Amino acid sequence: MSQFWKPGTERPRLIDDEEGGVLFYSTSALSSSSSGYGFASVEKQRQRLPVYKYRTAILYLVETHATAIIVGETGSGKTTQIPQFLKEAGWAEGGRIIACTQPRRLAVQSVASRVAEEMGVKLGEEVGYTIRFEDVTNTDLTRIKFLTDGVLLREMMDDPLLSKYSVIMVDEAHERSLSTDILLGLLKKIQRRRPELRLIISSATIEAKKISSFFSPSKRRQALQTEDHGPNAEPAILSVEGRGFNVEIFYVEDPVPDYLQAAVSTVLSIHDQEAMGDILMFLTGQDDIDAAVQLLSEESRNGRNQAGLIILPLYSGLPRADQDLVFSPTPRGKRKVVISTNIAETSLTLEGIVYVVDSGFSKQRFYNPITDIESLIVAPISKASARQRAGRAGRVRPGKCYRLYTEQYFLKEMSAEGIPEIQRSNLVSSVIQLKALGIDNILGFDWLASPSSEAMIRALEVLYSLGVLDSDAKLTSPDGFQVAEIPLDPMISKTILASNQYGCSEEVITIAALLSMQSIWISARGTEKELDEVKLRFAAAEGDHVTFLNVYKGFIQSNKSSKWCHKNFINYNAMKRALEVREQLRRIAQRLGIVLKSCEGDIQVVRKAITAGFFANACRLEPYSYNGTYKTVRTSQEVYIHPSSVLFRVNPKWVIYNSLVSTDRQYMRNVISIDPSWLREAAPHFYQHQQPKPIAH
């Protein structure tokens, strides 16, 4: 059926890590079936999970050690069970709270609601969660709190010792997200001041040794610790034995030209030829997931096997109801196909998966400190990720994993492990947070993995030019502290501050709220033309930011109607969330003394405010450019206006972009036209050596 590859007709390629042999996930006698799940009582289900056998051991280690590192395969029950064990053992008594951090927002919401359900309590009471712009906790009632690592970092600004928490579980540590790394460095400091605090670091892979030696104190301190009978400061490591089944690995014979098409064909072949069992497909992001959902629906409708396939997307930003579908048991006689980002790699466990289709790619952040360009790139995953993905197929019975890359590629070219995010990120936000927490010597900070000094210097440079840091690299008052207070990228925060002077805080806050959504448009393959036409209704000559204002106005005038959104290809859920974010930002702004004021249609001041925050992203159209080539003013990189922008093909001489995406080229997303004279006005010291010159056309 597939023009690329037919699973089933292939000789099975067997691997044992690097060489031949089946990839073994340790098996157990435990028998469960996909339909068996859901019948057992909650307590029975809990007892079946591998961590259950380690309950006493885990509680003992937490009691006796300042830091416990728990390694266990995905789905063994670390995230959902350990916080409950701690609560049952009394760690939440006396008003204390047990925290569990996750790198991903969707995982936070999902595990919190699962734990609330298991405990039979209402979400937001005894069990709650907090993600940026959404706090579902109760100050008096919440005892177990799930939150993103980023939110916990923010909490340190008000409560530097995180004193309300008795135990902090840093989950998914193997992901090495930017915030996890920074958090671990700071928690190590807090431990010295709060010997009663317990840390649990949990991970799906054996990064444990590195983290263990990171938390290992010096010999002298250890001696002191023993004297006062405090917990052992040396970290304890516990490995939870998994219970996965064998997963047979298949590779493509030749590289596939289009992983999306190949993935769709593979799913159809599996459905055609293989026994029942759900399929999990790993793609990279909302756009290719939506495209795959559509392709698969069309293909299965046209083909013989339309019956029985339930096609479900899974990515962050998905509405609640759609998330729940992914977790609901598959009806008898049906087969679920979950098409996911790498959120299903280790953060979330789906029951009933027997087949995994691995595209070999994920969306990753890359930052180049030389060009100062950070972009989200679809990049090859590591071997460690490939193994995790394969493992998802062996949860309920022996499974199969179809890799859409060659065995040769896996063995010879795939890197063993991913690079920690801190070494491939722009550090502007991190530096400002550390500064706000009083960590002045950033270069000397105790990093789990050091970021490059170039990236650090770039960050300091940008913050200095934003007026957030002074020449001694200290936060300025009040600007620096205010920018640090706003939970957004410092450039947007600075724009909000600037809007106060320009009298357009209402507009700028609206723009900031809409920009913090992944996308407010509904895009689907085949409807691009209609979407483009609809966008023209809102398009503003000045650019996308102003277009956002028009959309917002229309939404409010429609009385926040979902019908209106639908008619205009606007994502209703995103708009509703944007309204909430907007309200929160207005409250924060007021707290910072910003006067809420509208410029009443004087859009020039809005553009000036944006320039005040984003001058570092200024670009100039190349003289005599016929294909819309721009160059960044700072580093002379070639960039182009993204086709989704209302300024695509309009190509004003000077623009400022909000972010860059890389595909075949560097594309600017969310672009606004500016007057070059505003740049020097906004950042004289930044542009003194690189004066923007007017161009002759």
Footprint on this chain of ligand CDP (rule: CB under 6 A): 49, 72, 74-81, 110-111, 114, 327, 349, 351
Q: What is the DSSP string of 513-574?
A: HHHTSS-SB---TT-HHHHHHHHHHH--TTBHHHHHHHHHHHHHHTTS-HHHHHHTTB-HHH
- Identify any residues that bridge with 240 across adjacent strands, giving them in sequence order: 72
Would you call 462 helix, strand, or coil by DSSP?
Answer: helix
Residues 213 and 46 sit within 8 Å (Cβ to Cβ) = no
| Burial zone of 464 (CB within 10 Å; 0-12 exposed, 13-18 middle, 19+ buried) | middle
Residue placing its CB nearer to ligand CDP in the complex, 351 or 542: 351
Residue placing its CB nearer to Mg ion in the complex, 348 or 619: 348
Chain-centre distance for alpha carbon 697: 43
Q: Which does 327 bind (CB under 5 to 8 A by kind): ligand CDP, Mg ion, none?
A: ligand CDP
- Residue in 66, 47, 26 with CA at minimum distance from that of residue 167: 66
Q: What is the DSSP string of 288-333?
A: HHHHHHHHHHHHHHHSS--TTEEEEEE-TT--HHHHHHHHSPPPTT
Smallest distance from the beta carbon of 205 to ligand CDP, in angstroms? 12
Residue placing its CB nearer to ligand CDP in the complex, 323 or 510: 323
Smallest distance from the beta carbon of 340 to Mg ion, in angstroms? 15
Smallest distance from the beta carbon of 169 to Mg ion, in angstroms? 10
Q: Which does 406 bind (CB under 5 to 8 A by kind): ligand CDP, Mg ion, none?
A: none
Smallest distance from the beta carbon of 76 to Mg ion, in angstroms? 8
H or E element: which one contains 239?
A: strand 236-240
Residue placing its CB nearer to ligand CDP in the complex, 72 or 235: 72
Which residues contact Mg ion by CB under 5 A?
79
Q: How far apart are the first and last CA of the chain?
A: 55
Q: Which does 77 bind (CB under 5 to 8 A by kind): ligand CDP, Mg ion, none?
A: ligand CDP
- For residue 462, CA distances in Å to 64, 465, 494, 659, 693 come to 45, 5, 12, 15, 21
Residue placing its CB nearer to Mg ion in the complex, 79 or 568: 79
Residue placing its CB nearer to Mg ion in the complex, 67 or 79: 79
Residue placing its CB nearer to Mg ion in the complex, 352 or 543: 352
Smallest distance from the beta carbon of 114 to ligand CDP, in angstroms? 3
Q: What is the DSSP letter of 685?
A: T
- Residue in 599, 640, 602, 598 with CA at minimum distance from that of residue 619: 640
Residues 100 and 116 sit within 8 Å (Cβ to Cβ) = no
Smallest distance from the beta carbon of 131 to ligand CDP, in angstroms? 15
Residues 497 and 479 sit within 8 Å (Cβ to Cβ) = yes
Q: Which does 49 bind (CB under 5 to 8 A by kind): ligand CDP, Mg ion, none?
A: ligand CDP
Residue placing its CB nearer to ligand CDP in the complex, 134 or 485: 134
Smallest distance from the beta carbon of 110 to ligand CDP, in angstroms? 4
Query: Residue 39: CB partners within 8 Å, gap ≥ 6?
Result: none
Query: Residue 90: CB partners within 8 Å, gap ≥ 6?
Result: none
| Burial zone of 205 (CB within 10 Å; 0-12 exposed, 13-18 middle, 19+ buried) | middle
Smallest distance from the beta carbon of 171 to Mg ion, in angstroms? 6
Smallest distance from the beta carbon of 76 to ligand CDP, in angstroms? 4
Q: Are strands 134-136 and 127-131 parallel, antiparallel or unpaired?
A: antiparallel
Query: Residue 452 corresponds to which tokens in the numbers above?
Result: 């490059």
Residue placing its CB nearer to Mg ion in the complex, 345 or 542: 345
Q: Which does 2 bind (CB under 5 to 8 A by kind): ligand CDP, Mg ion, none?
A: none
- Identify any residues that bridge with 99 across adjacent strands, giving them in sequence order: 145, 168
Residue placing its CB nearer to ligand CDP in the complex, 50 or 676: 50
Q: What is the DSSP letter of 42?
A: H
Smallest distance from the beta carbon of 327 to ligand CDP, in angstroms? 5
